[in-house]
Amino acid sequence: MRPLAPNQYERKNEAATTAPMSTIRQYINGFNKGDPETMASAFLVPSSILDGMAPHAWRGPPASQDWHRAVLIEGEHNCASGYFVSLGEPLHNDVTGDAAYVVVPATMTFSVHGQKITQTGAIFTVALRKLAGEWRITAWECSKGTRE
C-alpha cells in the first residue's frame, strides 16, 4: 500500500507559512552579520519597530536603519558588542491572503566589557505583507528576555 501524498491544499499552505519565516530569517541573518542593507531589504516601507531599547518606537521609511543605528550607539555607550539572535520554532505562523502574523521565541547573545551575556525567553512578533509576490516585514516587536 502506498502512503498518501499530501493534498494540494496542504502543500500550498506549507509553502505559504514557510515564506514569511524565510523573510524573518533574512532580516535576522542581516542583523547577525551587521548588514543594515540586508535588514532593510526585508522591510516594506513604511514600517514600524517597537523594542525594549529607548526610544522604544521607530516608524516610517528609515525605521529599520534608524533602529539598527540606535542599537550600535547604545552598544557603544554600554561597551556591548557581538550581538547574535537565534530564533526558535514559530509559536504562531498565520497566513491570511497577503497578510502574515508570526510569533517566534528568540535568544540573544552579546558581550558587555568582554563578558558574554545570554538573554533567553524573548518573543519576536512580526507582521508581514505580501507585495508583488514577496513577503516583507511591516512591523515587529520584541519583548525582552531574561539575562542568564
Could you identify the residue written with the cell 542583523? 31
Can you give the pLDDT at residue 17?
Answer: 53
Burial label for 135, CB within 10 Å (0-12, 13-18, 19+), is buried
pLDDT at 77 over 50: yes
CA distances from 34 to 28, 80, 101 (A): 10, 14, 25
pLDDT at 89 (0 to 100): 96
The answer, yes or no, to whether residue 148 has pLDDT greater than 90, is: no
Q: What does the DSSP 8-state code read for residue 59?
A: E
Closest by alpha carbon to 100, among 64, 134, 53, 146?
134
pLDDT of 126 reads: 98
pLDDT of 31 strictly over 50: yes
Instruction: Domain 8-147: give its CATH architecture.
Output: Roll (3.10)
Which range in 16-20, 57-61, 87-91 is most confidently predicted, on average pLDDT?
87-91
Beta strands in the chain (DSSP E): 43-50, 57-60, 80-87, 92-96, 99-112, 115-131, 134-143, 146-147
Closest listed residue to residue 109, CA positions, set 141, 76, 85: 85
Q: What is the pLDDT of residue 50?
A: 95
